[in-house]
Structure 1
Amino acid sequence: MQVSTFPESVGQTDEDAPGCSTSFPMLCESSQICSAPVMLDRSCQTHAVQSIHFRSKGVTATPPMSNFSSQFGKSFLTSSQYISSGSNSDSESEVDDYLPESDETSELSEDEDVQLTFVMVEKKKLVNLFSQCPVCSSEASLRENCSGSLLTIHQLCDNDTCKFKRVWKNQEQLSRGTSEGNIAISNAIFMSGSSPAKALKMFKFMGMHVISYAAYMQHQKTFIIPSVDYIYDEEKAACMARVAGHSLTLSGDGRADSPGHSAKYMVYSLMDTTTKSILCCELVQFNETGGSSYMEKEGLRRCLASVMQSATVKELVTDRHPQIRKYLRDECPEVKHSFDTWHIAKGLKKKLSALSKRKDCKLIALWQKALTAQLYFCARRGDGNGEVNTEVWKAVGNHITNQHVHPENTHFPACEHGELTIPRQWFSEESIQYQKLHDVIYSRRMMNDIKQLSGSSNTSGNETFNALLNHFAPKLYHYRYRSQRARMRLAVLHFNENSCRDHKRSRSGEQLFAVKYVKYKEGCQIKKC
């Protein structure tokens, strides 16, 4: 059992030097592989956290890429191909300065996979263990040195006849000034999606010895980002191999890094609607396209080009982005382009809500939810057939005037609701509000969108991924390109690992749900897993 301290330099700026006066070190059960617990949902540890190891003393540990474990607290450091030579300290290390020199560094074997655990201990309690010589029990002189979370104690017996001396370290030293604990702290902050400044400041307020902010940024640049990129490439290749030769139905959606039309980055994702896994995800910067308004189209173009190298795209479900609609119509005519029902319903709801606030259109407010629900019924009834979609939607105009037979339709000649027993307020075809409603629901753009309504496929999975991406790369903060891309890729690894996870069940086997009252439902309750 060895001991590990948290330096008080957590959260310091580039000019801050690591402090060594603190009251709370940590006990560390040492191992050859550094593991960092990830503060996400249960079993959220991705493949990247488990399979990246260190190269030490020229011995390379190759991670078993086929074993995809999601257990908590597995090891994650870096791929051996990204580590070079020599470093002075955590806060002054260079990109290529991480080859160990002394015999104190540890060797890794391919079979080793030991989890590191840390236990907090008060510093004076730890120092008392070295106050006496273990040979003659005389008083001993101590000299302490802290480098990040690495604590080194030099012990020398004061007895002239004994002169016992030793050097003790609280954790394995991986290279000059770099230790398992230091890498573990940086890795845990990045993998959990935490803000490094806030996380390090929290440790500082606790009086713990940790790395500085500059050291974290160096670890992120040298170890973590290359490791995430390495694993992402491996997993992407595996995903493409699984779908090779298949005909796919995909859903795509973009996510800007800031609201409005002034975004710097656009993350575009393509998801397989059958397996609910992200097949491809691209990061586009605004200066690559000539403006932020063109980034979503470019992201889709890159994703499609990557997927089409291995598989055939049968159908693509997106929102109603006009540039994407034109691109698919001109460049990919063989791909069926469908629109997500939720996006169309959202636009319809906004128009009906604005119209219902007018003085002469109060009845529209009573029919707003029914008309939105009818749009979903139209998508389900048509199941991707444009003619059926059109006929079902045209029947809405008759239904709201209490006419439920539609002889002009071939596929939908009559309403399917049966006899209506609850009294309703119907529209009159001569009324002003009916004419205004008619102009909205039967506008040229609306009818064109209805023809392309998606059936069973939608972009809800992409929206879920975008919400997850907000955890790893919040829109509140700005990141440089490599960091933004690594966080995007980490979100993809996390999402694909958990997208098909079993539903939580009670002891009797029943599915468990949580009731939520969300804003977009205007107070109505919904069930969420």
Structure 2
Amino acid sequence: MVDASTGTEAHLFQMDKAVQWPEYEFNTEGEEWKVEHDHIYDTRPRILQSTPMKRFRNSQQLVNVGSLHDTAMSPNLHSSVHEDLSCTVTSKCSTASDPEYVPDTDECNEFSVTDTSTVIEEDEQSFVKERKFIVFESCLDSLIRKISCSVVCNNQDICNAPFIEIKKHSQGTFVSVSVVCLNGHTYTLWKSQPCIGRIAVGNVLSSAAILYSGCNFYKVREMFDLLGLGFISHNTYYRYQRELLFPVIDVHWQQEQRRLHDAFSGIKLCLAGDGQCDSPGYSVKYCVYSFMEVDTKRIVDFEVVQVTEAKTSAAMEKLAFTRCLNRLLAQSYKVTAIATDRHSGIIKIMREIYKDKGIAHEFDMWHYAKSLKKRLVAASRKRNCSAIAEWIPAITNHLWWSSSKCDGDLCMMRERWQSVVLHITDQHEWDHGRKYHACSHKEYTDEERSLRPWIEKDSQAYLSLAEVVLSKTMTKDFEHMTKFRHTGALEVYNSFSLKYRSKRIHFTMDGMEARTKLAALAHNANVHRPQARVRFPSEGGDTVGSLRHRLVFPKFKKKWVAKALYEPTTNAHVFPMLVDVLRLLEGKLTHSWDPRNSTMPVNIATEERPDKSLTVQHHLSRFQN
């Protein structure tokens, strides 16, 4: 059966026998998106170099930097958003003769992109796909000085007079150049980027690139400041987020959910679920609960809950789990099993509510083995129990093996697991038991047996280990472990999602949801990446065509292990989103996104906000007494 991968590049498609997928591209529509690396350049001689050049010493050509200006955003966004503007004019600038000069009440010039922009007829795709460059101002000035006036006079002749005045208007990353020639002709000579209405395309795309790549505005703004590049203000960026970027993310997430629903229609599903808090420690504000389909490893849905909606962080995870699962069931997903950690609240509602609906509850083996290891480590630290420490890796592996080899048989699972208390004493056959009467490993030689750190039966170490292995709680949990389900892939996704919503940065509810959608879309687009292969021969390296691995030394394992290397991730799914941002700006795209910020409390404080002056006075008085 062929799996139509979520990615859009050909090498991402591979066989998946778990489920029958429809024969269409899974995460994007239309042609394949990819930024070209080969370009056709103009063969005419270049006018100037890409590095800064010395300015001419002619006083008429010296350019001075003016003051900051503000401009209003397009009415398409239903509000005015002021951006940082700069106006650069010559020392002989005469504002009285400037037809574009409009006095402002704030004593600064207002630059309107509409005054100089033309109607954009190009496709939005070309704006996204074409290359962009960083231009030094000195190089731009050098180019302008090589140009003469191109205005056609009344006698049908071109003016060709030199420029005596140059004005640069900047709006974020956008800059336009207006000139005045010796004969008094005034016009806009050049714009650094196209505009849609009164909004520069580069400003919108740079904002989208920040969010869609998982970056943070303030870090990018600091980088731009260090580099000397103009950039939009934070108010403008967050306005773009609310009015353009978040709605487009929601549109593509809904498209992804419809494709998933069509692909999983009529198929019995086993879901893996896990919650992730937005910050470490006890300062949790959000809990994100995600469901992954086990066989295809795709994120099916998620839910974000704020701490004001529940009393504790544990209750937040339970609430998010319930909301998300109920939504999936309401959409006619045939969920037959769910694998989670041993969250007490989730165990209870699965037993009391969803068990009657035919949904089995499986414990995640990854979390359970992690919990078992902690108990074994604690047992090994008891007096005269240090011998247990050498057996901890083997015992945790034995738990995985017992679950994977029981074939859903609870009795076999229990007897395989409990046989470890005999194995560690060098006893490998026994008469008791219903289905399992001997260890499955090969018979040890005398030399191998002499190297094993066997534990003496009835010793303190043996009794402490048996107390953990044969505990009633663990024996009772076996009924939730016979299907061998684990959420390792979901843990990888949770780690990957931190690229988009770091635990060290605070986000609003809308920001948390949007960035989680971005993480889910990126994960689904790259979930079936193939393992990389060696492409070029190297001295002492692997043969060409062999699968690539790398050696790592995890601190907790204390030994070298090999990890597979996969092909690089693709961002092909992001480019249609960038195009849709411009389409939404032009009014060609509609959406149904409903922000949640308006329904959330202003803050999570448990008491009324006090008077600021009194609080500051109380704070300062502590240092005066």
Is TM more than 0.5 here?
A: yes
1:230 aligns with 2:229: no
Conserved? CA contact 1:90–1:218, under 8 Å: no
Residue of structure 1 in register with 2:351 after alignment: 329
Q: Give the TM-score of the pair, scaled to structure 1.
A: 0.80
| DSSP-derived class of the 1:433 partner | helix
Conserved? CA contact 1:45–1:72, under 8 Å: no
Residue of structure 2 in register with 1:409 after alignment: 433
Residue of structure 2 in register with 1:59 after alignment: none
Rounded Cα–Cα distance in structure 2 between residues aligned with 1:159 and 1:414: 103
Conserved? CA contact 2:166–2:178, under 8 Å: yes
Conserved? CA contact 2:286–2:305, under 8 Å: yes
Unaligned stretches of 5+ in structure 2? 1-5, 10-26, 38-74, 86-112, 151-158, 536-543, 566-625
Write the letter of the residue equivalent to 1:509: G
Q: 1:61-210, aligned counterparts within 5 Å?
A: 66-67=29-30, 69=32, 71-72=34-35, 84-85=77-78, 87=80, 89-90=82-83, 104-107=118-121, 115-131=129-145, 132-134=148-150, 135-159=159-183, 163=185, 165-176=187-198, 178-210=199-231
Question: For the structure 1 residues 143 and 423, does the alpha-carbon distance in structure 2 shift closer, same or farther, using more than 3 Å as the test?
Answer: closer
1:286 aligns with 2:300: no
Per the TM alignment, residue 293 of structure 1 is displaced from its structure 2 partner at its CA by: 1.5
Which deviations, in whole Å up to 9, do the C-alpha atoms of 1:299-341 show, x marking residues without a partner? 2212222222222112211111111111111111111111121
Per the TM alignment, residue 342 of structure 1 is displaced from its structure 2 partner at its CA by: 1.5
Rounded Cα–Cα distance in structure 2 between residues aligned with 1:385 and 1:116: 59
* RMSD, aligned CA: 2.8
Write the letter of the residue equivalent to 1:315: A
Which deviations, in whole Å up to 9, do the C-alpha atoms of 1:373-404 show, x marking residues without a partner? 11111111114332221110111111112221
Residue of structure 2 in register with 1:256 after alignment: 277
Conserved? CA contact 2:289–2:303, under 8 Å: yes
Q: Quick check: which has more Rg, 1 or 2?
A: 2
Rounded Cα–Cα distance in structure 2 between residues aligned with 1:516 and 1:455: 31
Question: For the structure 1 residues 454 and 500, does the alpha-carbon distance in structure 2 shift closer, same or farther, using more than 3 Å as the test?
Answer: farther
* Aligned counterpart for 2:458 among listed residues 402, 405, 430: 430
Which deviations, in whole Å up to 9, do the C-alpha atoms of 1:166-225 show, x marking residues without a partner? 34211111232x211111211111112112111111111111111122222221122111
1:319 aligns with 2:307: no
Q: Percent identity?
A: 30
Per the TM alignment, residue 233 of structure 1 is displaced from its structure 2 partner at its CA by: 1.3
Conserved? CA contact 1:241–1:310, under 8 Å: no
Which deviations, in whole Å up to 9, do the C-alpha atoms of 1:4-44 show, x marking residues without a partner? xxxxxxxxxxxxxxxxxxxxxxxxxxxxxxxxxxxxxxx98
Residue of structure 2 in register with 1:378 after alignment: 402
- Give the number of aligned pairs: 455
Rounded Cα–Cα distance in structure 2 between residues aligned with 1:498 and 1:70: 14
1:450 aligns with 2:489: no
Write the letter of the residue equivalent to 2:269: L
Conserved? CA contact 1:340–1:459, under 8 Å: yes
Per the TM alignment, residue 259 of structure 1 is displaced from its structure 2 partner at its CA by: 2.1
| DSSP-derived class of the 1:471 partner | coil
Conserved? CA contact 2:161–2:182, under 8 Å: no
| DSSP-derived class of the 1:332 partner | helix
| DSSP-derived class of the 1:275 partner | coil
Per the TM alignment, residue 271 of structure 1 is displaced from its structure 2 partner at its CA by: 0.8
Per the TM alignment, residue 361 of structure 1 is displaced from its structure 2 partner at its CA by: 0.6
| DSSP-derived class of the 1:130 partner | helix
Conserved? CA contact 2:268–2:336, under 8 Å: yes
Q: 1:514-525, aligned counterparts within 5 Å?
A: 514-525=550-561
Question: For the structure 1 residues 166 and 122, does the alpha-carbon distance in structure 2 shift closer, same or farther, using more than 3 Å as the test?
Answer: same
Conserved? CA contact 1:341–1:454, under 8 Å: no
Conserved? CA contact 2:179–2:189, under 8 Å: yes
* Aligned counterpart for 1:489 among listed residues 509, 517, 534: 517
Conserved? CA contact 2:413–2:482, under 8 Å: no
| DSSP-derived class of the 1:521 partner | coil
| Deviates further, 390-399 or 281-290 | 281-290
* Aligned counterpart for 1:512 among listed residues 548, 554, 568: 548
Q: Give the TM-score of the pair, scaled to structure 2.
A: 0.68
Write the letter of the residue equivalent to 2:379: L
* Aligned counterpart for 1:461 among listed residues 483, 489, 503: 489
Residue of structure 2 in register with 1:352 after alignment: 376
Rounded Cα–Cα distance in structure 2 between residues aligned with 1:232 and 1:456: 31
Conserved? CA contact 2:429–2:437, under 8 Å: yes
Conserved? CA contact 1:269–1:281, under 8 Å: yes
Conserved? CA contact 1:90–1:215, under 8 Å: yes
Question: For the structure 1 residues 441 and 473, does the alpha-carbon distance in structure 2 shift closer, same or farther, using more than 3 Å as the test?
Answer: same
Write the letter of the residue equivalent to 1:515: L
Question: For the structure 1 residues 150 and 242, does the alpha-carbon distance in structure 2 shift closer, same or farther, using more than 3 Å as the test?
Answer: same
Conserved? CA contact 2:431–2:437, under 8 Å: yes
| DSSP-derived class of the 2:133 partner | strand
Conserved? CA contact 1:248–1:314, under 8 Å: yes
Conserved? CA contact 2:289–2:320, under 8 Å: yes
Per the TM alignment, residue 294 of structure 1 is displaced from its structure 2 partner at its CA by: 0.7
Question: For the structure 1 residues 68 and 423, does the alpha-carbon distance in structure 2 shift closer, same or farther, using more than 3 Å as the test?
Answer: farther
Rounded Cα–Cα distance in structure 2 between residues aligned with 1:155 and 1:358: 84
| DSSP-derived class of the 2:531 partner | coil
Which deviations, in whole Å up to 9, do the C-alpha atoms of 1:430-460 show, x marking residues without a partner? 2122111111121121212233225453201
Which deviations, in whole Å up to 9, do the C-alpha atoms of 1:94-151 show, x marking residues without a partner? xxxxx98986242465886761321112112112222343441523321111111111
Rounded Cα–Cα distance in structure 2 between residues aligned with 1:311 and 1:522: 43
Conserved? CA contact 2:365–2:484, under 8 Å: no
Write the letter of the residue equivalent to 1:126: L
Write the letter of the residue equivalent to 1:364: I
Rounded Cα–Cα distance in structure 1 between residues aligned with 2:169 and 2:378: 68
Conserved? CA contact 1:257–1:265, under 8 Å: yes
Rounded Cα–Cα distance in structure 2 between residues aligned with 1:281 and 1:458: 18
| DSSP-derived class of the 1:252 partner | strand
Rounded Cα–Cα distance in structure 1 between residues aligned with 2:261 and 2:7: 22
Residue of structure 2 in register with 1:339 after alignment: 363
1:399 aligns with 2:435: no
Rounded Cα–Cα distance in structure 2 between residues aligned with 1:460 and 1:216: 36
Which deviations, in whole Å up to 9, do the C-alpha atoms of 1:433-489 show, x marking residues without a partner? 211111112112121223322545320111011101111111011111001110001
Write the letter of the residue equivalent to 1:133: C
